[in-house]
Amino acid sequence: MTSKERQFRIPPRIAAGGIKALSDWMIVRAEQKILPRVKRHASNLGVTYRDAEISETRYRWGSCTGKNSLRFNWRLIKAPVAVIDYVIIHELAHLIEPNHTPRFWNIVRSQHPMTETAKDWLKEHGALLEQRL
Ligand SMILES: [Zn+2]
């Protein structure tokens, strides 16, 4: 998890378009990066979901509704890929176990050995969620 992994290049054309252009671009980037991983992890876990979307809401990295719809915050693309995978696996594990029970954590850890490291990273970088960009 070096700082280099967290960097991404913003095309000058987009940067010149202001905050809206920039956040739209980041959402597209997030869709391209996150959604295929959701699909892959779901098949590893043997779960199916109704839909997965990138959300714009602040304060949460991801969520899973009772209707099996998954939401991931586009700001996740600022995180190392191991952290992105953790958030995805966490939400997918809720399709099996809705609560944070020992069974839930066993499922998450079986799919993501670096669970604790990822949780620590999210705790440490929680402020990233509140940034507009
Ligand atoms: Zn949870």
Per-residue pLDDT of the chain (133 residues; tens, 9 = 90+): 445 555 667 888 887 888 888 888 999 999 999 999 999 999 999 999 999 999 887 778 999 887 899 999 999 998 999 999 999 999 999 999 999 999 999 999 999 999 999 999 999 998 888 787 7
Strand partners, 72: 54, 62
- Which domains, from first to last, does the chain contain? 34-130 (3.30.2010.10)
Q: How far is the CA of 91 from the centre of ligand 1 (A)?
A: 6
Q: How far is the CA of 16 from the centre of ligand 1 (A)?
A: 38
- pLDDT for position 67: 87
Q: How far is the CA of 100 from the centre of ligand 1 (A)?
A: 6
Q: How far is the CA of 109 from the centre of ligand 1 (A)?
A: 13
Q: How far is the CA of 71 from the centre of ligand 1 (A)?
A: 12
CA separation (Å) from 8 to 20, 30, 32, 43, 114? 18, 12, 14, 28, 23
Q: How many residues does the chain have?
A: 133
Residue pair 131/59 in contact (Cβ under 8 Å)? The answer is no
Q: How far is the CA of 14 from the centre of ligand 1 (A)?
A: 34
Q: How far is the CA of 97 from the centre of ligand 1 (A)?
A: 9
Q: How far is the CA of 10 from the centre of ligand 1 (A)?
A: 32
